[in-house]
Copies of this chain bind each other. A is one copy, B any other.
Amino acid sequence: MQLLKDMIINKGKVREGNILKVDSFLNHQMDIKLFNEMGKEFKRRFEGQKIDKILTIEASGIGIAAIVSQYFDYVPVVFAKKTESLNLDKEVYESEVHSFTKKKTYKVRVGKQFLNEGENILIIDDFLAKGCATKGLIDILNQSKANLVGVGIVIEKGFQEGRSVLEEMNARVESLAIIEKFEDGKVVLK
């Protein structure tokens, strides 16, 4: 997706440890026009697939998934929660996720009433690196016996194992931009 690739090249910043910062348009400040273009592209990639619901994870996935829903007939968007909210019902599916960025393991939870057997689910998230967060979402989805239609990722770190981890779980992965490598502090896209 060219618009996204241009923004990654022009506005992304590579920090120490090869961390790509895209917080000026993706995960701190959000470019809603870009998100709409991403929605159109995900629709094109998953054309003809029946989608009943979108599943994502707080916080960065939420805004993307909300806009993407509009291109899939405004299906409900469910976001997995990372913190134990006093407001969350006891009846939840949960899975453990390790974040290498934040260097900690946390639980993700989805209220059982929001994922049902046989529902067709599209997972949307901002990043795919080692695949830990998405793997947690698929684990939750499997507990609910919903069907995974596919995983829509905005930026994939193609040099990490996320894609193969998910494909081993029989997930179809569609990424709008794939980073081949970092070179001299710059992003090289596929």
Contacts and interface: CB of A to CB of B under 8 A. Distances in A.
A114 interface: yes
A6 B24 CA distance: 37
Nearest to A70: B32
A167 interface: no
B30 A59 contact: no
Residue among A35, A103, A110 having the largest count of chain B Cβ atoms under 10 Å: A35
Contacts of A87: 15, 19, 21, 23, 101
A145 B79 CA distance: 33
Contact of A76 (B31, B77, B113): B31
Nearest to A102: B86
Interface in A47-102: 58-59, 62-63, 65-67, 69-70, 74-79, 81, 83, 85-89, 101-102
Nearest to A25: B76
A129 to B, nearest CB: 12
Contacts of A172: none
Main secondary structure on chain A at its contact with chain B? mixed
A66 B30 contact: yes
Contact of A35 (B31, B66, B79, B110): B66
A28 interface: yes
B32 A77 contact: yes
A94 to B, nearest CB: 14
A87 B113 CA distance: 34
Residue among A15, A59, A78 having the largest count of chain B Cβ atoms under 10 Å: A59
A77 B29 CA distance: 6
